[in-house]
Structures are given as structure tokens and as C-alpha cells.
């Protein structure tokens, strides 16, 4: 199937590492011009060059999305690179490093998580969505997490801030009603990235397990997945690419669980 992404212009926030790299690769492979974004210049340039080497049109935007200035500059460089952005993937973010148990996580860490997950996405949306609306077509895909709808007992900063992101994203789909611009979420489960590897290593140490593979297997049973493997970055990127396509014109205001069955739902 032709996903009709040739000539579309995409900004993938947080595409210097992890899931964002795969999303940028897949959008580029389908013919979109892609702006790779990160805070770390070297890492971001390296990913951009890898994608450019496949023959795709690629630009780079650098900046911290937790400040108005940083987010404004990222949006401006992305628009300047290709003359506009049609597809915005709000992927940057994650759990805050200072987060601990429900009662011990500092309030500052909780606020920081809202800032880097929810508010960062809002900043880019406010900068880029009005022009999409004027052109009559656009895509906003926000990356949340399974923990937003299937909360865990820990990380009280993370799941709630991503739940706010889902709520914001669905409200936005109503604010953009009949404009040709859609707003959807993708909620990944446990996905194999550097961050997951670090987490599983700590998990194995704390429980006296022999290896990351054993930690992975214990973890999989504990979280109630119905698919018997950890997710891969491509699993998320396929869904994002589909939602970014004009083929998904009729999909709006939804939250797609790409989580191996952690969050079964009838709606």
C-alpha cells in the first residue's frame, strides 16, 4: 500500500535516540522529508546522516523543549528547513530521572515530567498546528505510554503526565474539528531501547536475577502482556507512520495501544 507520504514534511521530536529514530527512519522510507530533533547535537546529527544516506531529505533541529525559547527555536528551524511542517510527532520525553516510589518522588520531579512530556508537546503543537489548519491538512501524533491508562504503583510523575497528554491530544482533535488536521496518540508498552536495558539491569540487580533476559521474562509475566515478547522500536514506528498517512484521514481523537496487550480495552 502506498502511504502517500511522498512530499510531506515531518518533525519527529526526540528522534536522536530510541523510538524516535525508528519513527524518523520509517517516515523517510515512505518518502517524507524529515526533521530529526534532539538536544545532543552529535547524536542528532549522526541519526540525521544515517537517514540522509538512504537518499531521504533530512534536516536537523536542536533544542530543549522544556523552555519556551528552546521549543520556539526547534519549531522555527523545522519550518525553515522545508518551508513548513505537515506532520508533527511528539515523541520526546520519558520518565524523570529523579523519580522514585509513589510517596518519595520529589514534587519537582513530578512537575518536570509534566513539563517534558505534556507541556513540551503543547508548545510544538501551538507553534505548528495553526499553519497545518490553514493548509487544510496535517497530522499530530503524540507518544504516550501504556502506563497512562494502566497505571503502575511507581513512577507517579510519568504515567499521570502521559495521561494528561492523551487527554490534551483528544481535546485538540475537537479543537481542530473538520480542519483536515488530526490528533491521535500512540501508547507504547515495554519497548527495547537503551533506557529499557538500563531499567532491566537495575531490576535484575535488585532481585538477584542472573541476566537482563531473565529480568525481561519476569517483567513480562508481571505486567500482564498477552503477546509473549518485548516490543521493538519498529512496532511503534509502523503505527505512527500509518497514523501520519493520508490513509488515516478517518482516524481522529484516539489512543492506539501498541503494548503487547497490557491495556486491553473494548473502546
- Please give the residue ranges that form the binding site for ligand NAP (CB under 6 A): 14-20, 38-40, 43, 64-66, 91-94, 116, 120, 143, 145, 188, 190-191, 193-196
Residue number, 16 or 245, with CB nearest to ligand NAP: 16
Residue 114 annotated among the catalytic residues of the structure: no
Residue number, 69 or 250, with CB nearest to ligand NAP: 69
Alpha-carbon separation of residue 220 from 24, 153, 156 (angstroms): 28, 16, 21
Cβ contact 54:28 at 8 Å: yes
252 CB-near residues (< 8 Å, 6+ apart): 173, 182, 183, 184
Instruction: Tell the residue number behind the cell numbers 520519558, with chain if given.
Output: 94
Q: How many helices (H) and strands (E) does the chain have?
A: 10, 7
Residue number, 94 or 160, with CB nearest to ligand NAP: 94
Question: Nearest-CA neighbor of 241 among 75, 56, 29, 15?
Answer: 29
Catalytic residue among 114, 158, 199, 238: 158
Range list of β-strands (E), 68-217: 87-90, 138-143, 181-188
Least spacing, CB of residue 254 vs ligand NAP, in Å:
17
151 CB-near residues (< 8 Å, 6+ apart): 159, 160, 163
- The residue number with the shortest CB distance to ligand NAP is 18
Least spacing, CB of residue 91 vs ligand NAP, in Å:
5
Least spacing, CB of residue 55 vs ligand NAP, in Å:
23
Least spacing, CB of residue 48 vs ligand NAP, in Å:
12
Residue number, 39 or 133, with CB nearest to ligand NAP: 39
Residues recognised as catalytic: 158
Amino acid at each position: 500500500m502506498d502511504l502517500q507520504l511522498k512530499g510531506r514534511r515531518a518533525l519527529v521530536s526526540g528522534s536522536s535516540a530510541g523510538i524516535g529514530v525508528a519513527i524518523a527512519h520509517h517516515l523517510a522510507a515512505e518518502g517524507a522529508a524529515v526533521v530529526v530533533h534532539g538536544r545532543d547535537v552529535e547524536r542528532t546529527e549522526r541519526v540525521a546522516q544515517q537517514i540522509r544516506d538512504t537518499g531521504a531529505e533530512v534536516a536537523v533541529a536542536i533544542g530543549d523543549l522544556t523552555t519556551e525559547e528552546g521549543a520556539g527555536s526547534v519549531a522555527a528551524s523545522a519550518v525553515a528547513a522545508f518551508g513548513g511542517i505537515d506532520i508533527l510527532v511528539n515523541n520526546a520525553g520519558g520518565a524523570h530521572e529523579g523519580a522514585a516510589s509513589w510517596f518519595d518522588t520529589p514534587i519537582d520531579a513530578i512537575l518536570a515530567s509534566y513539563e517534558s512530556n505534556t507541556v513540551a508537546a503543547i508548545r510544538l503543537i501551538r507553534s505548528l498546528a495553526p499553519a497545518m489548519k490553514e493548509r487544510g491538512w496535517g497530522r499530530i501524533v503524540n507518544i504516550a505510554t501504556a502506563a497512562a491508562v494502566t497505571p503502575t504503583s511507581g513512577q507517579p510523575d510519568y504515567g499521570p503526565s502521559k495521561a494528561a497528554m492523551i487527554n490534551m491530544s483528544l481535546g485538540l482533535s475537537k479543537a481542530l474539528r473538520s480542519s483536515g488536521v488530526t490528533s491521535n496518540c500512540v501508547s507504547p508498552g515495554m519497548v527495547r531501547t537503551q533506557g529499557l536495558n538500563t531499567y532491566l539491569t537495575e531490576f535484575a540487580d535488585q532481585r538477584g536475577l542472573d541476566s537482563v533476559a531473565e529480568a525481561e521474562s519476569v517483567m513480562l509475566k508481571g505486567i500482564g502482556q498477552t503477546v509473549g515478547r518485548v516490543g521493538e522500536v519498529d512496532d511503534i514506528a509502523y503505527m505512527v507512520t500509518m497514523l501520519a498517512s493520508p490513509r488515516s484521514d478517518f482516524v481522529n481523537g484516539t489512543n492506539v495501544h501498541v503494548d503487547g496487550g497490557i491495556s486491553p480495552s473494548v473502546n
